[in-house]
């Protein structure tokens, strides 16, 4: 989950594939790429960060639900505004390579992390 958020923050796919389950890899990659990651002025956040504890709920059979509060931060010379944190939830599965993302339940970018009236 942390790698997913870090790669979302950087906008780079490199390293993302290793945390996605093979069976849903392409679908999850498309979902990851579809998140706009911009504010109403077209500015990409400088960073996405998790705040507070990361909640892990064991579902048995090598499955777990992971939830974290995620917020965007924009850094510039005048100010460093942060957006409000909102829950991002993941279903994960464990295989021979470790824990991987099976599903990502992310809030809409426009209207949640960024005011709806500023989205284009």
Domains: count for the chain:
1
pLDDT above 70 for 42: no
pLDDT of residue 38: 59
Rounded distance between C-alpha atoms, residue 8 and residue 46, angstroms: 11
Residues 8-16 have a mean pLDDT of: 82
pLDDT above 60 for 39: no
pLDDT of residue 36: 66
Q: Which distant-in-sequence residues (6+ apart) come within 8 Å of 40 by Cβ?
A: 114, 115, 117, 118, 119, 120
How many CA within 13 A on the CB side of residue 95? 12
pLDDT of residue 119: 67
Q: Has this prediction a pTM greater than 0.85?
A: no
- 35: pLDDT confidence band, cut at 50, 70 and 90? confident
The CATH number of whichever domain residue 46 belongs to comes to 3.10.450.50
Supply the range of the domain harboring residue 96. Answer: 2-118
pLDDT of residue 60: 87
């Amino acid at each position: 989950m942390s790698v997913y958020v870090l790669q979302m923050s950087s906008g780079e796919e490199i390293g993302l594939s290793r945390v996605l389950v093979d069976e849903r890899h392409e679908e999850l990659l498309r979902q990851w790429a579809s998140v706009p990651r911009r504010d109403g002025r077209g500015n990409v956040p400088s960073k996405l960060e998790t705040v507070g504890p990361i909640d892990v709920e064991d579902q048995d059979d090598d499955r777990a639900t992971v939830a974290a509060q995620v917020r965007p931060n924009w850094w510039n010379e005048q100010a460093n505004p942060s957006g409000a944190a909102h829950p991002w939830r993941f279903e994960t599965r464990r295989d021979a390579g470790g824990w991987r993302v099976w599903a990502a339940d992310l809030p809409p970018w426009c209207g949640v992390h960024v005011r709806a009236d500023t989205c284009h």
